[in-house]
Structures are given as C-alpha cells and as structure tokens.
Structure 1
Amino acid sequence: MEQNTNYIFSPIEEELICYHKTTDTDLISPALPYHRHDAYEIYLFLGGNTYMYLEQSCYKLAPGDLMIISPSEMHRCVCIDNQLYERIGLNIKKPALERLSSHRSNLSSCFESHPFGQNNLTQLSQDQIVFYCELAEKLISCLSSEEYGQDLLAESYATQLLVFINTLYQSSTYRSNNLIPELVSNTMTYIKEHLVESISSEQLEQEFHYSGKYISQQFRKHTGLTIRSYIVDQRISLAKSHLSTGKTVAEACEFSGFSDYANFIRSFKKIVGMPPGKYKANKHA
C-alpha cells in the first residue's frame, strides 16, 4: 500500500475570520486533498463549476448553497473548469463561538445537531443570499478596521450571522444528491470499522473485488489522498480522542492501531502540530 502521507491540517490563526473571494480557477489545484481546520467553518457558494467533498459525501454546488463544517470533518473543493469561483467563508474557533453564545442560545448547535459528515448542506433563497452577503461584508469591514468600536461591531455581525444560520438549520429539510462513488465511500467505511487492525491492499481487494491499484486510484481521484494517508489521519483522530479521555501516550498509540511508537509520535506531530504529550497536557490543563 502507498506510503505517502499527503494529509493536510490547515490551522486558522485568528479566532474569527471572514472573507469574500472570487478566484481564477486556474489557481485552484484539482489535486487539493481532503483537509480539516482547527475552527468551525461556514461556507456560502456564490458561483463557479464546483464540487464539494465532505467526508463520505460529494455535492455539485449551486449558487446559494450553504455548508457548515465542524473541525473534525474532512473536506475539499474541486473546480472543474475555468469559471470564476466565488464564495464567502467564515471560520470561527470554539472559544469565540462559546463567548458569543448565551445560556439560551448555543451558537454551535447547528454543528452539533446533525450526524457526522451528513446533512451539512442547505440552500438559501435569493433574499437570504442578499441578507447573508450584506452581513458578511459588514463583518469583513469591521475585522479589517482598527477604529474604535469596530471589534465590538464585528462580534455583533458575527452573532447575527450565526443566529441566522442556526435558525435556518433548525428548520431545513434540504437534501442534495451524494455523488461520491460507492466504492470510495465503502472503502472509507471499511477503514473506519477496521482502524485498529492492519489494513492491506490485499484485504481491500478481497473485500471489494477490485484490484488494489484500481481502488487506490479511485480513492486518490475523489479524495486527493492516498489510502495510507487517510488511514494515518483517522488513526490520529482516534488517538486524540483517547488522549482527551485520559489515556497515556503509549495507550493512545496502541489503541489507535499504530504498531510503531516512533511513527505515531512523528505522524501525530505532523498532523496536529504538536507532540501527543503536549496535546494531552493542553486538554487537561
């Protein structure tokens, strides 16, 4: 099986960022792999010929599609021609989301109430698109200003956006067709179900009755990742859960399917950005 580890963890530097971008898609690599952030993401698609992959789903986006993405959910965007790619993105870290919430109104509920990797997408009406864009532009302006009171106004506009989004998702029944190939989705499921075991190309061949090479090619085509990279990423995610519940670094290594301790330490630091011991200490500080 492939040994590449081209997974991507893309950290967000600020507690809250918002942007409105229109990009020449010649600058968007179709090989951009699945990635995740250390912040919640809200993504409004406004134009282009674009597919959004999120965990085991793939959606052909239409203007007005709004996607909510939790920090643990892997995702990627693929632009398939040279149409201009326009979107508004908002990233907010957990402490900021908690600070803006109240006892009555938990602004992270839209992220927490849907099944992992499912029902992330809804569709805005034209009036809702206009409303959302106006609020986002005000937020962007405040975030880029050093003038008196602009930080407070930024939090006000962010709160209004988050209230709007949470209210929208409470009543949304929108469902979009999942276009990801069954073979790729089933391979992801198999990996998650056998994560702490040894997983080889031969096992995948026996399970799905395709050659290991074909399975790998299809997986790479639709995720941007090698199968090995995906396995390592999922094992690190499991290790983080073990560390958060008080397991030792050695136990997290063993219980997450790693057979080589040094490789576990190296892979954890590469993906998470810090050694597992420091991650555990931060969680229990």
Structure 2
Amino acid sequence: MVSGDAARLQQVIWNLLSNAIKFTPNGGQVNIWLDRVGNEAEITVRDTGKGIRSDFLPHIFESFRQEDASTTRRYGGLGLGLAIVRQLVEAHGGTITADSPGEGKGATFTVRLPLLNVEPESIQIEEECDREVNFSGLRVLIVDDEPDASELLTVMLTQYGAEVMSVSSAAQVLANLESFQPDVLVSDIGMPDVDGYSLIEQIRALPAEKGGQVPAIALTAYAREEDYQRAIASGYQCHITKPFNLEELLKAVMTLVRANLNYPIQYESEN
C-alpha cells in the first residue's frame, strides 16, 4: 500500500506504458512488474524498442527535451510526458529513473514509491530560500493549445495548492475570465486564430470587474529581446521563456500576486 492520488498514479503508469508501446515495433515486448525493495514499492516498465542514446539519458525527464527532430515529427508531442511523470512521482515522495543499453536495445523505467506503513521523509522542494510555497486559494488560468504543456503546468501548480483552470484557446479564456476570476493568467503566445499578444490586449480593454486587470505571465518559446519587449508592451507583467524551471515559475507567480493583489503567500520554514 502507498499513499497518494489514485488518478495521478494511474497517469504515471499509463504514460510509461504508452511510451513503451509507442516506441516498440511490432513483434517487440513490453513488461511491467511490481516488487518490494526495502521500504519502497518498485514498479518497472521494460521494453525491447527504440532505446535511448547514452548522451540523452541524463536529460530524459527534462521539460521540452526531445531526442531528435525526426522522432518528434513521427510521434508528435512536446517531450513533456516524462517531465509530467517525474513531477507526479516526486510529488508522492518517490523517485523515477531511466536506463537503456543504447539505441535499438530497449529501455527500462523504474518508479519507487514509499510504502504506506513506512514513516515518509519530509519532502521539500529545493529553493534558494529553503522554504515551501503554499498557493492554497490561488486561482490560476492557463491557456496553451498544446495539451502536454497545459498538463505540466497544471501538475506543477496544483501540487502547491492552486486551483487551476486549463483552456486551449484565447476564446475560451475570454469566455471564462469573468466567471473563474483568476488571480493569475499564464498564457502561451504562439496559438492559432488569436495569439497571446492579441489575447492580452483584448483582456486589458475589459473593465476590472470583468478581469481586465488580471496579472499575466507570458510563457513562450519566443526568447528574443524584442519578444520580451512586445510581451510587456502588449500587457503582460512577466515574460518566461520555454523551457522553464519550476522555481522560476513559482517566483513569477509570487511576485505578481504580491505586487498586484497583496495575496498572502505563505511560507513554511524547513526549520
């Protein structure tokens, strides 16, 4: 027995199995098994498929990292699935590792979770100030037309207690802005039909009671100085480039809610 969110743990296993099947050709084999190792449950997913290059193994769980462009074109996605898996596993106090003998030789993913009858160690997110953020009660509206990107952000922010609504278009943002009343908007820039620049301009034209003054973060792959300047000029208060790290995003959210709403962000000292 382990303690956790059943739906999220199912998501971890589903993602690992889906990857194994996707990258294993016809006639290959995928195995999954469960063992007890000391005070942990160990789940192993092993396949005989495409394998992973040794130089890419250290980066396999990083956000927006893809082994090669041809794989991306063939299989689709942003390379966020394993980053989401890692976030979920670590949120449950566990660990995940990957191993592969090389290209064409298959891959093995191992998840370890603390057993319920074992006193878990205190899991702390490593931050410069060594303090834990609590976003309980904070509402965040995310807009990104890539489902993987939205899912990763949702996992990251709900992990700290935020209430998150995720939508895939500017039209959906405008339809939900007044009713959801977010404390922070996190928006992609490169979206079809209405991009992030046009979206924030439309929002800023609204009265405050309809969400016109919501603090906003542009989260985008457009990383040039002129992209930053355009985002700020359009109405965003913050511009974060992809790939991003969790600490950077948390700091941006904290800065905005404090500066604009005086939201009482709480910290819990490790001491």
The structure whose RCO (Cα within 8 Å, separation 6+) is larger is 1
Given the two structures, how large is their TM-score scaled by the length of structure 1?
0.26
Could you say which structure has the higher strand fraction?
2
Could you say which structure has the higher helix fraction?
1
Given the two structures, how large is their TM-score scaled by the length of structure 2?
0.26
